[in-house]
């Protein structure tokens, strides 16, 4: 499990107060809504605010792309990586 995915999983657990779940219980590609983790639209709003606070990313609640970003932990990690690279282009070139 990579560090960003682990941070996002912990953020989901903390922001939504999922006390009976550990990061290892959340699969990277599992759906966050519906039959997956079972989140709902209120959870999405809370998670969106937590992502903005933790990672400084901006989201458009009405965008279909935003809905796609909330599909899984991997999708959220991709969004965070993209926005961080856009906001810090020099950081993305360091190795």
What pLDDT digit, counting tens, does each position of 40-66 carry? 989 999 999 999 999 998 888 778 888
Q: Enumerate residues 6+ apart whose C-beta is below 8 A from 45.
A: 61
Average pLDDT, the chain: 87
> What is the pLDDT at residue 61?
75
Cα distance between the two ends of the chain: 20
How much is the pTM? 0.83
Range of lowest pLDDT (25-29, 56-60, 74-78, 90-94)? 90-94
pLDDT at 90 > cutoff 60:
no
* Structural domains of the chain, ranges and CATH numbers in brackets: 3-92 (1.10.1200.10)
């Amino acid at each position: 499990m990579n560090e960003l995915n682990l941070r996002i999983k912990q953020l989901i657990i903390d922001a939504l107060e999922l006390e009976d779940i550990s990061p290892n219980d959340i699969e990277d590609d599992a759906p966050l809504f519906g039959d997956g983790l079972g989140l709902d639209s209120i959870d999405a709003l809370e998670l969106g605010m937590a992502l903005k606070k933790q990672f400084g990313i901006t989201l458009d609640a009405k965008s279909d792309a935003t809905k796609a970003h909330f599909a899984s932990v991997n999708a959220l990690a991709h969004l965070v990586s993209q926005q961080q690279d856009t906001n810090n282009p020099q950081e993305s070139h360091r190795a």
